[in-house]
Amino acid sequence: MGEFVRDQLPEALDYYTGTAGLTLTGKGKQRQTRCEFHGGSDSMGVNIETGQFLCRAGCGARGGDVLAYHMAAHGLGFVEAARALGAYREDGKPHRGQTRPTAIPARDLLRSVADELQLCVFVLHDVLNGKCTDNDYDRFRTAASRVIYVTGLAS
């Protein structure tokens, strides 16, 4: 058995421009976009604070949040859509109120891994030349652990 955790839903702006792949126009909390349900250009209104959406062209597409949009856009039931958006906790998952970590952009993550690997190379160079201190070993272990964790090599 599982549990829906509303505060785990993605932010509306992030969802619509990221996961849903929509281009939003306008300013303020009410934005316009194409209606994916009937193909209308700029006929759908989206509230970037609440996630509400409504097609003004009369196709009937409407809902109260990003979960409702995801359900309608992908033909999913409530639980399947909540799972897909990371807002459904299965038994053994984090407790109520815990939030997902903020995603790190791939470019930043790769840069961080590259920096850690470069540090490992410098320390190994010092080891080969016989000038490595205990501090260098500690720095190497920390950097190598981070690389292993991020790349998933430990699993």
The number of beta carbons lying within 10 Å of the beta carbon of residue 85 is 19
User: In sequence order, which ranges of the chain are alpha helices (DSSP H)?
Assistant: 12-14, 66-74, 78-84, 106-128, 134-151
Q: Which amino acid is at 33?
A: T
pLDDT truncated to tens, each residue of the chain (155 aa)?
Answer: 688 889 899 999 999 999 999 999 999 999 999 999 998 888 999 999 999 999 998 788 999 999 999 999 999 899 999 999 999 987 655 555 555 566 777 788 888 888 888 888 888 888 888 887 888 878 888 888 888 877 776 55
Report the C-alpha gap between 16 and 153 in whole angstroms: 33
Report the distance separating Cα 92 and Cα 70, nearest Å.
25
Sign of CA dihedral 57, 61, 63, 67: negative
The reported pLDDT for the residue numbered 96 is 52
- Cα distance between residue 155 and residue 143, in whole Å: 18
* CB-CB contact of 77 with 71 (8 Å): yes
